[in-house]
């Protein structure tokens, strides 16, 4: 498990997205490989804690926490639900008005209700599912 040592002179809270740990000068922590990779890029602030630990063996200095610290899991975006419209509850006139109002489509009222319903459902799927 990787260890990282904070080598700067003042107390700092890291700005790594998903971590945000408060570090004190000289502090060594066990971290996950991802966190170590992100922190060790800044060699003026953090150093590899395992190299430091090997040089300090026998002096009684151990890292404060034994549990590795990893990145917080990112929240999954919530998909917006599609609008629920009951086309089967609409009669012929309602279907024609709905198509004209929402999709600027003029449907032929001479067609039967089931055909109109299929056309409106097709319009809905083409326009609403494409977004």
Strands (E), the chain: 3-6, 12-13, 22-23, 28-30, 46-48
* Overall pTM surpassing 0.85 (yes/no): no
The domain segmentation of the chain, as residue ranges, is 3-55, 87-128
E strand or H helix at 19, and its extent? none
pLDDT in tens, 94-105: 999 999 999 899
Q: For 41-73, how does the pLDDT look when each residue is reduced to its tens digit (9 = 90+)?
A: 888 888 887 665 555 544 444 444 455 565 556
More confident residue, 22 or 96: 96
Distance CA(4)–CA(83), nearest Å, equals: 50
């Amino acid at each position: 498990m990787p260890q990282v040592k904070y080598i700067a002179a003042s107390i700092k809270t890291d700005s790594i997205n998903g971590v945000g740990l408060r570090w004190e000068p000289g502090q060594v922590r066990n971290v996950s490989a991802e966190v170590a990779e992100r922190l060790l890029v800044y060699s003026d602030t953090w150093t590899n804690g395992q190299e430091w630990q090997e040089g300090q063996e026998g002096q009684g200095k151990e890292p404060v926490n034994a549990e590795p610290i990893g990145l917080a899991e990112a929240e999954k975006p919530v998909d917006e639900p599609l609008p629920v419209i009951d086309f089967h509850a609409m009669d012929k006139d309602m279907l024609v008005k709905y198509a004209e109002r929402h999709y600027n489509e003029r449907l032929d009222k001479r067609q039967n209700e089931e055909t109109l319903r299929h056309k409106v459902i097709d319009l809905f799927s083409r326009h609403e599912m494409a977004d």
